[in-house]
Amino acid sequence: MFKPWRLGAWMGFPIDVNPSFLLLLAFVFIAFGGLAGVMVVGLSFASVLLHELGHAVVARRFGVRVSGIELGFFGGAAKMDGMPRAPGRELAIAAAGPAVSLALAAIGIGLGAVTHVSLLGLIGWINLVIAGFNLIPALPMDGGRILRALLAYRMGHVRATEAAVKVARVATIGFAVIGLMGAYQLLMLAPFLWMMTTREQQMARAEAAAGGTGRGRYVVRQVDGRYVIVDVA
């Protein structure tokens, strides 16, 4: 409905902000301490941007086309076309984002402790939370992709996706339960995550129906409501 705004480009990747990000800022401003809360959100999204750049840079090294990075209400996403299905490459791309966040966490917390600058420590803890949350094994989050890649070494991409989907749905139900206890952003995230998990499952099944082994590289498109392989590389 609403087009994202282009902020510019960094390292060759277009950076867009979804209008839903403004809703998040408004919500935080009202509920969590005015401008102080908005500042924390701003630092968080700067950290998320660096996290997604980690994914994008590694993906580009493997020849994956990255059309840009988009920031929105639920965080950020590096928009990739033709994600490699070889387990090692998916593992490397999925792990790159948390690796960047953990490095920033170590630097921020370390410098904060040495210099006693609370802002540096805050940046470090924000990145530690981002890394920890993204490593939850729920597709299509990083932890879910890492789990699938590890399983795919033994059982191939399609069966690994089916197994990772089961784990993801348990995590999604957990998000919904925690959300009902007051973490409302998790409550809003849960149905979105469930839909994205279902999409990953549909794409894997489309590959299987097309005779894919799950070990190569597939480009999947949605055509007339169905996921089909239109190119195999």
Judge whether residue 232 has pLDDT over 60: no
pLDDT tens digits for range 113-158: 999 999 999 999 999 999 998 999 988 899 999 999 999 999 888 8
More confident residue, 220 or 117: 117
Task: Quote the pTM value.
Answer: 0.81
Does the pLDDT at position 194 exceed 70? yes
pLDDT(213) > 60: no
**pLDDT score, position 31:** 59
pLDDT class of 170 with cuts at 50, 70, 90: very high
Share above pLDDT 90 across residues of the chain, in percent, rounded to a whole number: 42
Q: What is the pLDDT of residue 203?
A: 82
Q: Report how far residue 65's alpha carbon sits from residue 82's, in angstroms, rounded to the nearest whole number.
A: 7
Mean pLDDT for the chain overall:
82
Long-range Cβ contact pairs of 14-20 (< 8 A, separation 24 or more):
14/67, 14/68, 14/69, 15/49, 15/68, 15/69, 15/71, 16/68, 16/69, 16/70, 16/71, 17/70, 17/71, 17/72, 18/70, 18/71, 18/72, 18/73, 20/72, 20/73, 20/74
- List alpha helices for the chain, DSSP H: 20-31, 35-61, 87-115, 118-134, 142-180, 184-209
Residue 73 corresponds to which amino acid?
F
Express as a percent the part of the chain with pLDDT over 70.
83
* Omega within 30 of 0 (cis) for the link into 98: no
Write the pLDDT tens digit of every residue in 55-89. Answer: 999 999 999 999 999 988 777 888 888 777 789 99
pLDDT at residue 225 greater than cutoff 70: no
Domain extents in the chain: 1-135, 136-221
